[in-house]
Amino acid sequence: MNNKQIKNKLKTASYFVKRLKDSGFETWKIFNKYSESDPRRWTVLIDPGGASIYITCFENKPFYNEYLFTFDDGNVNFRPGFSLKTDSIEVIVNRLLSNGAGQRDQRDPSE
């Protein structure tokens, strides 16, 4: 294993959720029991009750040992089929912010 594989755990749902929570996003684990033949590994929900963005991690897509993240908010702020191939949580966070996801500290405390 090289250092990039050891350090980058974005394809792991618990690590991905932790990093998003550390960045101020309310994040829920939704599902991670896809079949072995399914390229999806897990799905999380960002900003429930707000932008409500589902992110799904795909492994071996587009190539073997690679992964990408698809974003789905019902076509409100993300176009259908939008995906990112990245090793950086900062890229994910910036995309969420630029597409309307709210962080916990930016919400009305009465919600």
pLDDT for 95-104, tens place per residue?
999 999 999 8
Q: pLDDT tens, 26-39?
A: 999 999 999 999 99
pTM: 0.85
The dihedral over CA atoms of 91, 15, 79, 68, expressed in degrees to the nearest 10, equals 80
Between CA 52 and CA 14 the distance in angstroms is: 19
Q: Residue 45's pLDDT is what?
A: 97
> Has residue 5 got a pLDDT over 80?
no
Q: What is the mean pLDDT of the chain?
A: 88
